[in-house]
Amino acid sequence: MGTTIMAASFDGGVVLGADSRTSTGTYIANRATDKITPLTDSIYICRSGSAADTQNLSRYVQWFLEQHGMELGDEPEVKTAAKLAQMMAYQNKNMLQAGLIVAGWDKHEGGSVYAIPLGGTLVKTPFTIGGSGSAYIYGLCDKLWRPNMTEDECRAFVIKAVSHAMARDGSSGGCIRTVTISKDGVKRTFTPGDQVPVAAGELPPPQRAVPAQV
């Protein structure tokens, strides 16, 4: 799963973003993938690396979190979800190829973003990027990122960054999906391929016969 994934926190929550390309070699197995998966109602995970590994790992974490929430009698925290994902990634590091980003909102910490790269480290960050496409946007993100953005500014930042990665990384492309999580709940957006912002030097996408129904 060559990919571009990212998550960024704003004042009051987090925005997760991803491209939608799943490739096996040069063949694009799925051009409309959803790489942003729910772990609980208010915690989501961005998946990069092996699709099989990350899908199954996410299922385990969903299960553990649900059991934990029952014992706790309360919604699990983002920190706990990240810790469980990290535990699975680290203990199985020899067998897995999974680069993960866990982000969400809980009532104790507000919005949080946790990066879990290949080896199984756990790092809490204001924003983070991952997947093969992320290599091309480190500079851009460092330049554009500001703390305490509004929700709309943050979402625009994510969409801009992902679109630039998609322009340069052959393994990333398709459409841009974002998930915004705050105390008010979860909001999903979908940017179809022909509405992805065009980076410098790119040709504009061909005109559609029928407009996209979002």
Partner 1 sequence: MSGIGTGYDLSTGTFSPDGRVFQTDYAQKAVDNSGTVVGIRCKDGVVLGAEKLIISKMLEQHSNRRTFPVDRHAGMAVAGVAADGRSVVSRAMGEANQYKSIYGEAIPGHVLAERLGSFMHLFNLYGGYRPYGVSALLATYGKEGPQLYLVEPSGATYRYFGTAVGKGRQGAKNEVEKLKLEEMSCREGIQAVAKILHQVHDEEKGFEMELAWVCEESGRHFQRVPQQLADEAEAAAKAALAAEDMDD
Candidate segments 33-41, 70-78, 90-98, 183-191, binder of partner 1 by CB under 8 A: 70-78
Annotated catalytic sites, by residue? 3
184-213 residues near partner 1, rule: CB under 8 A: none
How many residues are recorded in the chain? 214
Residue 29 DSSP SS3: strand
Is 71 a binding residue for partner 1 by CB under 8 A? The answer is: yes
CB nearer partner 1, residue 102 or residue 129: 102
Write down the least CB distance from residue 83 to partner 1, Å.
Answer: 4
Distance of CA 5 to the CA centre of its chain: 4
CB nearer partner 1, residue 73 or residue 147: 73
Amino acid of residue 49: G
CB-based contacts of 102, cutoff 8 Å, min separation 6: 39, 43, 44, 45, 78, 81, 82, 85, 113, 114, 116
Whether residue 41 contacts residue 186, with contact meaning beta carbons closer than 8 Å, is answered with yes
Using CB under 8 A, pick the residue from 30, 31, 50, 87 that binds partner 1: 87
Residue 15 DSSP SS3: strand
CB nearer partner 1, residue 84 or residue 165: 84
Using CB under 8 A, pick the residue from 8, 18, 39, 84 that binds partner 1: 84
Using CB under 8 A, pick the residue from 21, 35, 79, 177 that binds partner 1: 79
C-alpha–C-alpha distance, residues 212 and 79, integer Å: 38
Q: Which residues bind partner 1 (CB under 8 A)?
A: 68, 71-73, 77, 79-80, 83-84, 87, 108
